[in-house]
């Protein structure tokens, strides 16, 4: 249950960071003294950079989640073995 809460917290953090970056980029570009074509190019570039960052962060979250699942499986297997030994010490 704690891992789910941690993952949710990380996802909310990533979403907040991404949204903050996006809003900051748009506001900065809107107040910049540039032509519409230059602003659209800048917006496109910034959105591409943001997309790359979000993709990278989501990959990191995915990898950490996989690591957490593997650790959890190992702990469950060890605990199951311990319980089996306690129930039937002569057969384990």
Closest CA to 15 of 46, 61, 48, 63: 61
- The yes-or-no verdict on residue 75 having pLDDT over 80 is yes
Tell me the C-alpha distance between 60 and 88, whole Å.
42
- The yes-or-no verdict on residue 10 having pLDDT over 50 is yes
* pLDDT, tens only, 15-72: 888 888 888 888 877 777 777 788 788 888 888 888 888 888 888 887 777 778 788 8
- The yes-or-no verdict on residue 92 having pLDDT over 50 is no
In this prediction, residues 5-13 reach a mean pLDDT of 76
Closest CA to 51 of 77, 89, 84, 25: 25
pLDDT of residue 29: 72
Domain boundaries, the chain: 2-87
């Amino acid at each position: 249950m704690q891992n789910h809460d941690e993952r949710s917290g990380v996802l909310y953090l990533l979403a907040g960071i991404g949204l903050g970056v996006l809003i900051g980029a748009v506001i900065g570009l809107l107040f910049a003294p540039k032509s519409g074509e230059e602003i659209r190019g800048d917006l496109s570039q910034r959105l591409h950079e943001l997309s790359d960052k979000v993709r990278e962060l989501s990959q990191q979250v995915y990898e950490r989640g996989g690591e957490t699942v593997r650790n959890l499986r190992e702990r469950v297997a060890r605990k199951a073995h311990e319980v089996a030994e306690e129930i039937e010490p002569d057969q384990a």
